[in-house]
Amino acid sequence: MNNKIIEARELIAKARESLRYGDKVSAKQLGEQAARLAPDMEDPWLVLAASAPNPQAALAYARKALRLNPQSARARRGVEWASGQLKQAQASQDRSPISPKIAPNQVEAVTSLPGKHAYQTAVAMPALKSPRKNWLLPVLLAGAGLLFIGFIVLFALASPALASIVSIVSAPAPTQENLWASVEIAKPQVTPIDGSAFTAQLADTPTGAPAEASPTSVPTDVSTPTPADVPTEAPTLEASTPAVIETPGAMAMEIIPDTPTSEFAPTSSAPNPPLASSGNGARWIDVDLTNQRVYAYEGDVVVNSFIVSTGTWMTPTVTGEYKVYVKIRSGSMSGPGYYLPDVPYIMYFYKGYGLHGTYWHNNFGTQMSHGCVNLRTDEAGWLFNWASVGTLVNVHY
């Protein structure tokens, strides 16, 4: 391996570190240096695509990387990402209203972006009005109004119908005195009522006692039917049969003392149980970036495996052989646009790259991180307790 390739890889590693912290300017400069040293490598062009100032340049760099390595999954994802960014930019440009003609009272403003496209907008300026037109229109409207009022007055004087309406309106309103008029009303004839019948009836009824209602006669030839299934005598119970007496139900409450229960011990929910109880060699960790999996080895025996999420194509996980240099049971991680407190079971193996538990997403099997290896929290705990400082970590595609 020549010195240019080694220097280009060092520049690419620094550029990726700059991308992790959001410094696209430094990443672009480092990517350009690496591309001059190793133009046939895909990594410099992917760095340039991730740090490009506009979607057109990003798409061109990503396509260059894909042409150099058509089998690269990272290059394909870079092309898909850049194509999506370009479509969004074109859609937003199409939605922005652009006037084809600019009026004399508008000022044309052209904003150029670093690329091939320029966006043109028009800013409306207030139109200047002639001072002679300001008083002419109100005068004309006032004259038309006066003419209309005069026409209405002439029509009212000449129209007899309108005059009669005016006379009705001007008539005095009716008062309380002239609302009444004397009218002859015939008096009703009253016929006297003979009260002897009522007196006789009241004499037969004692005072203070209510009159009894006369009973209604019932025909004697109608007999009341008796159901055939109704026994006429109460049944006699046998001596050997205990008598059952129905009593009204009563609600009873019995207080049961608290019964101590054993503590619940949750079982592991890891989807990948250990494939073997133990091996016969040194422990080491294998990170497969292509299949998004981590394997725990003891010698040449796989004792456990997990599905993980590694770095995206813009901030990929470093490749190579490393060793765990520090273990942190819980710590915070931060970067451009994110802050993650209390990240569990961290094992750093190269600078800021490490294996750790993840509580902020569940999309394991998909590249999601800024370069670290994301595991489910319980699986990260298992790996944290299994490995030690100095454990080999082999990262590869």
Q: What is the CATH number of the domain that holds 309?
A: 2.40.440.10
Q: Is residue 366 part of a domain?
A: yes
Q: Is residue 328 part of a domain?
A: yes
The pair of three-digit structure tokens given for residue 55, joined into one six-digit string: 């979607």
pLDDT bin (cut points 50, 70, 90) of residue 161 is low
Q: What does the pLDDT read at residue 331?
A: 96
Percent with pLDDT over 90 in the chain = 38
Helix 73-95 to helix 55-68 angle (10° resolution) is 160
- pTM comes to 0.49
Question: Are the CB atoms for 145 and 139 separated by under 8 Å?
Answer: no
Tell me the three state secondary structure of residue 29.
Answer: helix
Q: What does the pLDDT read at residue 224?
A: 43
pLDDT over 70 (residue 243): no
Q: Is residue 114 part of a domain?
A: no
Who contacts 335 (Cβ-Cβ below 8 Å, separation ≥6)? 20, 21, 22, 370
Q: What is the mean pLDDT of the chain?
A: 72
Amino acid at 162: L
pLDDT bin (cut points 50, 70, 90) of residue 252 is very low
pLDDT bin (cut points 50, 70, 90) of residue 131 is very low
| CA nearest to 308, candidates 388, 390, 393 | 393
Tell me the three state secondary structure of residue 112.
Answer: strand
pLDDT bin (cut points 50, 70, 90) of residue 197 is very low
Q: Is residue 13 part of a domain?
A: yes
Last residue of a domain, one of 36, 60, 95: 95
| Pairing status of strand 373-376 against strand 353-358 | parallel
Mean pLDDT of 336-365: 95
For the chain, what is the domain count? 2
C-alpha Rg value of the chain to the nearest Å: 51
Tell me the three state secondary structure of residue 138.
Answer: helix
Q: Is residue 385 part of a domain?
A: yes
Q: Is residue 67 part of a domain?
A: yes
The pair of three-digit structure tokens given for residue 30, joined into one six-digit string: 């480092």
Which range marks the domain in which residue 90 is found?
3-95
Last residue of a domain, one of 42, 64, 95: 95
pLDDT (tens digit, 9 = 90+) per residue, 263-294? 333 333 334 444 545 667 999 999 999 999 99
pLDDT bin (cut points 50, 70, 90) of residue 328 is very high
pLDDT (tens digit, 9 = 90+) per residue, 47-106? 999 999 999 999 999 999 999 999 988 889 889 998 998 888 888 877 765 544 444 444
Question: Are the CB atoms for 74 and 46 separated by under 8 Å?
Answer: yes
Q: Is residue 327 part of a domain?
A: yes
Q: Is residue 80 part of a domain?
A: yes
Last residue of a domain, one of 74, 95, 116: 95
